[in-house]
Chains A and B, each alone.
Chain A
Amino acid sequence: MNTEHIVGKSVPRKEGRDKVTGRSQYVDDMVLPNMLFGATVRSQIARGHIRKITFDPDVAWDEFVIVSAKDIPGKNCIALIGDDQPCLATDVVNHPEEPILLLAHPDRHVLATAVQAVSIEHGALPGIFSIEESERRSEIIWGKDNVFKTYVIEKGDPDSVWAKADYIVEGEYSTGAQEQLYIENNGMIATFDAAQGITVWGSLQCPYYIHKALMALCNLPAEKVRVVQMETGGAFGGKEEYPSMIAAHAALLAIKAGRPVKIIYDRLEDMAATTKRHPSRTRHRTAVSRDGKILGGEIDFTIDGGAYLTLSPVVLSRGAIHAGGPYYWPSVRIRAKAVATNAPPHGAFRGFGAPQSLFAMERHMDRIAQTVGLSPVEIRRRNFLQPGETTTTEQVIREPINLGELLDRALLVSEYHSKKRRFASENPVGTNRKGVGIAAFLHGAGFTGSGERYLSSVVGVEGCPDGKVRVLVSSTEFGQGTKTVLSQIAAEALGLPYESVSIAQPDTREVPNSGPTVASRTVMVVGKLVQSAALGIAQTLILSRLLHEGYSADEFRTACQQHVAKHGQFRCWSRYEAPSGIFWDDEQYRGEAYAAFAWAVYIAEVTVDLTTYSVSVDDFVALQEVGKVLHPTLARGQIIGGVAQGIGFSLYEKVIWQNGRMQNGQMTNYIMPTSSDLPPIRVFFEELGNVHGAYGAKGIGELPMDGPAPAIVNAVEDALGVPFDSVPLLPEDIMDRLNMDGLNKDGLAASLEQHNASSAAEADD
């Protein structure tokens, strides 16, 4: 067996050559003979009845295939958690851009004009456009009370803490919607014939979500629905649930047309119609002792789910569980709620609720520090979770994490203390103010609670006729390096060179359901299954006496070839089994929420320009404990990319809403960071390992999204002495706030002095 380790090495990306040569096939690169192009006619209003649909008589409609809800063979819904979201609206619409009709035509250029030539006469009803309006229930737009889902997490005796408190610290924090902004817009191709059923190829994260949705929509058995992932040009959660909608539309058109149909969204349609990060509001009320210890508190976490249920309950759950941050709460009550509004449904986006509630927690920690008169460093140090203590869901921290040491290392590498001293002396003069800010946080890997048990993922590894090995999973590659890392794991388990392992393109006809590619679960959960299925291959060969322990790569190849020659197809399967001793109570929302947490301390340095009110991030330190790093280049790429999206979330990316419709759905007016906007992002890893993950790995995909916003906004407060509690924080927000407070430059200097005086001398740290 190969004794050289493959995990831990930066091997070449499996699909890397195709990507750098432009040979990779994305869905819009695929052309089928006789293919039509599809487009969607959408609602122009947020809420109301569909009274009448008229077709402009100047258009040759007989050239088009037209699909309405009447053409749906099965149930008119996009099956996911609930079945409330229609595939095509019939009588009422509940958000702008809700799909009503589908058109297909052989010439893609005539479609845009044809969509404009369909007019929908609506009977408008009043809409709900914010969390507050939804809570006031002036209109009931979903269920009985506009509430999709609530959770209460309760620990200790939160009502008794107020009497013991030396300080009660309150704050309200909010985060805006954020567009995933993958550079490849959504797209799907569908074909249908009676014998084969439906096949769709597309840009997607979760083949089996689409498989399930198409079975229900088309009333077809599992074997008559096939979903194939094409190379996917970025996803970040944005291609978790909405691709089911587009696949459904392409399938309906293909069934009616009897020809292949391709639907590719343009940027405007993708931005306006598909999901975004849930806007949120978090209220903290915290009882704190004189020495800065959290005694307990209440956290109200509310998210805007948009018009249909979709994934909001799951986003809410993750946000609620992360709301207490990496701190010890003797007592706490977390009330979480997802409410309905008449906006397109908000959905999955990297972090999935945690960036929202952790922004609030980490801003609130700075507010507590300010109130108590401790530094941001010291307040965190005094409240960090320690091994043996329990989280808000009473999960015992079993791993030997030392958050104080993590913090120390982050302070050291960021030169935090010397920067603090330098900025304190330099800030009073000139038109620039500089500050540093900290965020400490955690991110749970894998599905929450009993989620992985319900998913019951299956992975296959195949010994191929040529003696090589192939990994069979529905886990998708969309930039993170899924194919590379899962191949590394199989190669490591079998002691084979990385080149001897390939991985199947996700295709529901070929691969088992290894679960959705979400929730930072792929390397940890699916990777572990790949490891055990790969070991199954070696054991089978050894037990059948074709191979001996300590085999060479050549011996393995020969043995594998012999096995296939003798017995035919040679595959081993591995199904997820919950580790023993893991307990989760879905009713009480209590127990082991995640098999593992990744831990992090991020430190941002910013400059606020008092002439333009713009904030630039000058340096960013991202230090995290993520278990074992299986591929250093990919892992570092995940962290830097996540931090960059986090900087966008903090300072650039603002969705402008009007009556539930995005007004700035273009890259010219929805601004993401360019290469000249970003600071050096310095990445550091601690590697404690993890018994539940493949070769000690934890999930890392979502983690880096959680820290940047609070670290940056804390740094802005450090620079100006004025607190800000919302992201995105744009120059106009800073200008308005400073003008409102009547703070000119001299006033700011005074405010800063007062701010510094009330937080204790940093020299104590």
Chain B
Amino acid sequence: MTDPRRSLAKSEISFTVNGELRKVRAYPMERLLDVLRHQLELTGAKEGCGEGECGSCSVLMNGALVNSCLVPVLQAAATSIVTIEGLSSGEQLHDLQKAFLEWGGAQCGICTPGMILAACHLLNGKPNPTLEEIREGLSGNLCRCTGYSQILEAVQEAARRRKRA
């Protein structure tokens, strides 16, 4: 009854999460998603499919958008990870969180953490994306509730506000 994720012995792995250095003892092939959720109690990343299709487990790893269900925790060693919990500071919402809230970008909320991180990644690379670029940039994150329009509008609005600021 061996789980392939546990084929290698546990070891100590450290990485930065939301600006804080964290050390975990984990099986090297364990999914980053499980380590974040179960060991670090960062449950904002969600499991929707477990095979990298839905994007609800998205986190930023060294600035890249990754599906944390596909990343063995070993691969996260010495990286810097940002989860949804790292976006807001205290009660102050991140501009994308604010825009999602105002424009109806979140309905059931299960895809929202991943979607906001995907939008964050998109705007980091393209501060003034076209609508087509937003559609393309978020196409790895599935949402069953919204039909995406209000998500796209929220991202457009956040980009506009950044430009004005």
Contacts and interface: CB of A to CB of B under 8 A. Distances in A.
Given A22-B44, A28-B47, A637-B107, A668 B53 contact: yes
A18 B108 CA distance: 11
Nearest to A682: B149
B63 interface: no
A280 to B, nearest CB: 22
A110 interface: yes
Interface-centre pick from A13, A637, A666 (highest chain B CB count, 10 A)? A637
A640 B147 contact: yes
Contact of A681 (B44, B84, B147): B147
Contacts of B74: none
Given A24-B109, A637-B145, A640-B150, A675 B85 contact: no
Interface-centre pick from B3, B54, B139, B148 (highest chain A CB count, 10 A)? B148
A184 B46 contact: yes
A668 B51 contact: yes
A125 interface: no
A21 B84 contact: yes
B101 A13 contact: yes
B109 A233 contact: yes
Contacts of B9: none
Interface in B88-104: 88, 93, 97-98, 100-104
A578 B19 CA distance: 58
Given A15-B109, A234-B145, A675-B152, A184 B101 contact: no
Interface residues of A, number: 62
Contact of A20 (B1, B108, B112, B150): B112
B101 A183 contact: no
A183 B111 contact: yes
A642 B147 CA distance: 7
Contact of B3 (A109, A231, A479): A109
Interface-centre pick from B6, B42, B107 (highest chain A CB count, 10 A)? B107
A160 interface: no
B142 interface: yes
B152 to A, nearest CB: 7
B39 to A, nearest CB: 12
Contact of B110 (A15, A110, A114, A233): A233
A273 to B, nearest CB: 16
Contact of B101 (A16, A24, A58, A644): A16
A266 interface: yes
A692 interface: no
Given A641-B147, A667-B54, A26 B101 contact: no
A674 B140 CA distance: 8
A113 B1 contact: yes
B110 A183 contact: yes
B26 interface: no
The A interface is mostly helix, strand or loop, or mixed, namely: loop
A464 to B, nearest CB: 23
A242 interface: no
B133 to A, nearest CB: 10
B108 A183 contact: yes
Contact of B148 (A20, A28, A642, A678): A678
Interface in A496-544: none
Contacts of A680: 149
Contacts of B37: 29
Contacts of A182: 108, 110, 144
Contact of A184 (B48, B103, B139): B48
Nearest to B134: A675
Contacts of B83: 22
A32 B64 CA distance: 34
B37 to A, nearest CB: 8
A642 B3 CA distance: 40
B96 to A, nearest CB: 8
Contacts, number: 176
Contacts of A24: 109
B161 interface: no
B28 interface: no
Contacts of A19: 106, 108-109, 112
A631 to B, nearest CB: 9
Contacts of A267: 48-51
Contacts of A17: 93, 101
A58 B151 CA distance: 51
A59 interface: yes
B54 A13 contact: no
A110 to B, nearest CB: 6
B116 interface: yes
A20 B104 contact: no
A59 B150 contact: no
Given A19-B109, A640-B150, A674 B142 contact: yes
B156 interface: no
Contacts of A674: 139-140, 142, 148
Interface string A256-277: 0000000000110000000000
A204 interface: no
B104 A234 contact: no
A584 B12 CA distance: 69
A480 B142 contact: no
Contacts of B46: 26, 28, 183-184, 233
B146 A181 contact: no
A229 interface: no
A181 B144 CA distance: 7
Interface in A632-657: 633-634, 636-637, 640-645
Contact of A183 (B3, B45, B48): B48
B45 to A, nearest CB: 8
B162 interface: no
Nearest to B2: A113
A23 B44 contact: yes
A185 interface: yes
Given A640-B150, A672-B144, 9 more contacts: A16-B106, A182-B108, A184-B108, A266-B47, A641-B107, A641-B146, A667-B48, A667-B54, A668-B53
11 contacts: A12-B101, A17-B101, A59-B1, A183-B144, A184-B46, A234-B144, A479-B109, A636-B150, A640-B147, A645-B144, A666-B53
Minimum-distance CB pairs A-B, first 10: A22-B44, A233-B110, A644-B147, A19-B109, A479-B108, A22-B84, A479-B107, A667-B53, A640-B147, A29-B43
